[in-house]
Amino acid sequence: MEKNITMSSFSITSISSALSNDLQQKIDTKTKPPGSLGRLETLALQIGRIQNTLTPELKSPTILVFAGDHGITEEGVSPFPQEVTAQMVHNFLSGGAAINAFCKQNKLRLHVVDAGVKGDFPEHPDLTAAKIGRGTKNFAQIPAMSQTECDQALKKGAELSRTLPDTECNVIGFGEMGIGNTSSAAALMQRYTGLPLEDCVGKGTGLDDSGLVRKREILKQALDLHEKIQEPQEVLATYGGFEIVMMVGAMLESAVLGRILLVDGFIATSAFLAASRIVPEIQEYAVFTHQSDELGHRRMLEYLQAETLLTLGMRLGEGTGAAVAFPLLQSAVAFLNEMASFESAGVSDRTDGE
């Protein structure tokens, strides 16, 4: 049997602090009161540290959207039929989804990955066929996938990250599509964090109150069924979706390559949580873009000690939060590189007096 993916498979370099003081001084000596650009200042510092430069650049920004179906939908955890996953992939490829609009608006390259959708798709320049299986198994009865399938998905995600069409890409966002994947994300969240299940499970694509109660009951039974599973990758194989696992691999490899990671909402953050359990150093590379309105996302962010750039009440997925937040990174880089300093502008700096 092939050896499982290990931490050594993803050698993520811890970000150097060598330039931190110089970056902070550059930020503080711009023609503004210290700290007056708020989060843009901490964002500029993070980007400069990730790229290890005083003059960072954002090159070939890309959003990867991973799609996969989930066997847990057999339990009625979503009000939408499973066929919607494939239908939405067709929508992405025809340019009709929200993520298409936001990527076009902000000049982001969009690429869709079939990680495990039940349906088939014609060849398309913006689609990668990387199907591990035609949907996962029902984890309320058996593990969602085998460890071999999990390793295959991790490796494929890493490969897709390494072989992006534009090799200059240094900022990458992650989105997903998969009916039932909020159940997968909630189960992963509960198992990784130990938080009460009630804090992890939300209405997903629009369950009513009775549907939410049933969803919690199903997930509690599934967590009890696999309660002995604790090792991070076994947890991922037991509850994950093919799109989530492939996203984990792509996130890890993108950090190996030194990219800025734009982490979207609830599903993408659950993938990031799994990635951080495999290689903790990945967290230094992450920009958490949007706090989803899905119950559980705020608690997961708190667990990760992460603060998002935006809170807009969205809960769509697809990478939309990453795409909408991207201009804030551009603003952070712009002020760092283009704003005058007190000295260069001939403006008097503050004094320590009155």
Query: pLDDT tens across 159-202, in order?
Result: 999 999 788 999 999 999 999 999 999 999 999 999 999 999 98
- How long a stretch of residues is the chain? 354
pLDDT of 317 > 60? The answer is yes
- Residue 48 backbone dihedrals phi, psi, to 5 degrees: -60, -40
Entry pTM = 0.94
What is the enclosing helix (H) or strand (E) of 64?
strand 62-68
Band of pLDDT at residue 309, cut at 50, 70 and 90: very high
pLDDT exceeds 50 at position 207: yes
Query: Residue 122 carries which side chain, given as an amino acid letter?
Result: P
Phi, psi of 234 (to 5 degrees): -70, -40
In this structure, is the dihedral angle defined by the CA atoms of residues 335, 337, 343 and 347, taken in order, positive or negative?
negative
Residue 161 near residue 246 (C-beta atoms within 8 A): no
Pairing of strands 171-177, 286-288: unpaired
Q: Which region among 8-12, 25-29, 170-174, 335-339 has the lowest average model confidence (pLDDT)?
A: 8-12
For residues 255 and 281, is the Cβ–Cβ distance under 8 A?
Answer: yes
The string of DSSP letters for 192-237 reads HH---GGGT---TTT--HHHHHHHHHHHHHHHHHTTT--SHHHHHH
How high is the pLDDT of residue 4?
56
The token duo for 255 is: 């950090």
Which of the four pLDDT bands, split at 50, 70 and 90, describes residue 295?
Answer: confident
133-164 pLDDT, tens digit each: 999 999 999 999 999 999 999 999 999 999 99
Q: At 228, list the tokens.
A: 């002995």
pLDDT digits (tens, 9 = 90+) for 240-279: 999 999 999 999 999 999 999 999 999 999 999 999 999 9
Give tens-digit pLDDT for 63-92: 999 999 999 999 999 888 999 999 999 999
Tokens of 127: 């689609």
**DSSP H/E element including 162:** helix 147-162
Structure tokens, 175? 């989105």
Q: Which pLDDT score is estimated for 347? A: 72
Mean pLDDT score, 40-56: 98
Whole-angstrom Cα distance, residue 39 to residue 45?
10
**CA angle, residues 259, 264, 265, in degrees to nearest 5:** 155
Question: What pairs with residue 288 in β-bridges?
Answer: 263
Q: How far apart are CA 170 and CA 75, in angstroms?
A: 40
1.20.1050.10, 3.40.50.10210, 3.30.70.520, 3.40.50.620: CATH of 62-334: 3.40.50.10210
- Residue 173 parent element (H or E): strand 171-177
Please list the active-site residues. 318
